[in-house]
Structure 1
Amino acid sequence: MGKNVTGVGRPRASGAAASSQNAREAVLEAAGELFTGAGYAATTTRAIAERAGLRQASLYYHFPSKEDILAALLAATVRPSLEVAGGLSGGDAPAAVRLWALAYADIRLLGGARYNLGALYLLPEIASPNLAPFRAEREQLKAVYRDLVAESGAHPDSVAVRSNLVFGLVESIAIIRRDDPVLDVEAHAVEGADGVLRVAGLPAPDATLRAAARALLPRS
């Protein structure tokens, strides 16, 4: 496929629209482009406002600080996957099917967004107290993977290690995308989800399992 499949919209705002939801989305769009292009530290709120077509005061109305913008962008990389995970938790489908579905959806989210926001996970600013909610949500998602790995039959002594490796495999799409900006997102999502099952100690999935897993996901 090689095309972005999800992402923040690209509206522009001016005048009365500066206080609308469109203005907020314009700020996130501009910041996503600049943070992943010029770099977070090198990007000023003035540059973001100019890129978004807003006055700097209007930007501060929506986001009191640059870190608040970063927090919103990071939340968009994990909350959709948490919603998917919530829909999969406690389901009747085998754990292997639900694990494949979550990994597939998660990789598509990180790999297909307009900008490579997953690469922002490597920023030292991630440790900021103001980003604690993002870190907590990311840990929640990791816990879902851990539960699915355990439910899949992994030996209790290996669950922690296997779930760490599974989570790392999913998030590695950001590094791959950094080196290959035009990667085939769909192919990476399928192969990545297949790899997650193997890392979890499960048999390689077949077409039937993949189809069952896709059927569990919301239609996009």
Structure 2
Amino acid sequence: MSERGGTGRVGRPRSRGAADDGRTPRQEILDAAAALFSESGFAATSTRAIADRVGIRQASLYHHFAGKDEILLELLEASVRPTLDVVDALRSRAPDAAGALHALVVVDVGTLLAGPLGIPALYVAPEVQQPRFEQFRAHRRQLGAVYAELVRDVAPAGHPVDADVLGQVCLHLVEMTASLPSAPQLPEQVAAACLGACGVTGDQLAAAVAGGRAVRDALAAPAAAGRH
């Protein structure tokens, strides 16, 4: 069902190419939608409300997105895809599973903190359970499987919690980061919490931290070189 109303014609975007803070109109729409979805819920948020929040005509919104579903899907995908895109490189460069898990958590927390902070709360929204959002749910399951695989290799024999459950615990801890009080080196603290839940402490934890940092430095080096 279309929300366009009126003649249904797609409007032109506004004349300015970006917001005063450097955001493009498309990013402004995503940010406004994320805020409204968090405040009012997905079902109660209209494309007109999103357009009003941005300060554009409703028709102009449709120049960038077909509707609310497409906006929400892009927001959801942006909360998992950047992490998934580096998982293989991260695991191949890590000295061991503990270092890989530390690097994964720090990268994943960074992915979430780089976007609108309320997105993880939408994961359990009834609308997101519908078939039209299966692409996102599949990617999140894929990320959860990576956590479980690493936890299985990290946790010592006899750990009282099943690896699949422990992997989900780590994933959910990452996803609740935005609701935690701001703290120095928060991503690394969350990573240490995940490793601690797996039974990694003391010298083993210090080694995992060093390994995770080395992995992230290795991943960052090609990107830095490409900017010169």
Q: TM-score, normalised by structure 2?
A: 0.75
Partner in structure 1 of residue 7 of structure 2: none
1:207 and 1:152 mapped to 2: Cα distance? 14
Report the identity percentage: 37
Deviations 1:139-171 (A, max 9, x none): 111111111112325549832222222222222
Alignment size in residue pairs: 200
1:153 and 1:168 mapped to 2: Cα distance? 18
Picking from 135, 138, 153, the partner of 1:136 is 138
2:151 and 2:205 mapped to 1: Cα distance? 18
Alignment of 1:98-177 (within 5 A): 98-152=100-154, 154-155=156-157, 158-174=162-178, 177=179
Letter in 1 for 2:139: E
**Cα separation, partners in 2 of 1:64 and 1:155, compared to 1, 3 Å:** farther
Question: What root-mean-square deviation, in Å, do the aligned CA atoms of Structure 1 and Structure 2 show?
Answer: 2.7
Contact 2:110/2:187 (8 A) holds in 1: yes
Letter in 2 for 1:214: R
**Cα separation, partners in 2 of 1:27 and 1:142, compared to 1, 3 Å:** same
2:184 and 2:129 mapped to 1: Cα distance? 31
Shift of 1:191: 2.1
**Cα separation, partners in 2 of 1:111 and 1:185, compared to 1, 3 Å:** farther
Contact 1:112/1:185 (8 A) holds in 2: no
1:48 and 1:97 mapped to 2: Cα distance? 42
Contact 1:36/1:115 (8 A) holds in 2: no
1:105 and 1:186 mapped to 2: Cα distance? 16
2:205 and 2:168 mapped to 1: Cα distance? 24
SS class of match (1:14): coil
Partner in structure 1 of residue 8 of structure 2: none
**Cα separation, partners in 2 of 1:162 and 1:115, compared to 1, 3 Å:** closer
Bigger Cα Rg: 2
1:195 aligns with 2:174: no
Shift of 1:188: 3.2
Partner in structure 2 of residue 23 of structure 1: 25
1:167 and 1:201 mapped to 2: Cα distance? 16
Deviates more, 1:201-210 or 1:52-61: 201-210
SS class of match (1:90): helix
1:132 and 1:154 mapped to 2: Cα distance? 34
Shift of 1:206: 4.2
2:164 and 2:137 mapped to 1: Cα distance? 18
Letter in 2 for 1:211: A
Letter in 2 for 1:201: G
Higher relative contact order structure (alpha carbons within 8 Å, sequence separation ≥ 6): 1
Q: TM-score, normalised by structure 1?
A: 0.78
Deviating beyond 4 angstroms after TM superposition, the runs of 4 or more aligned structure 1 residues are: 153-157, 204-208
Contact 1:163/1:200 (8 A) holds in 2: no
Shift of 1:114: 4.2
Letter in 2 for 1:163: G
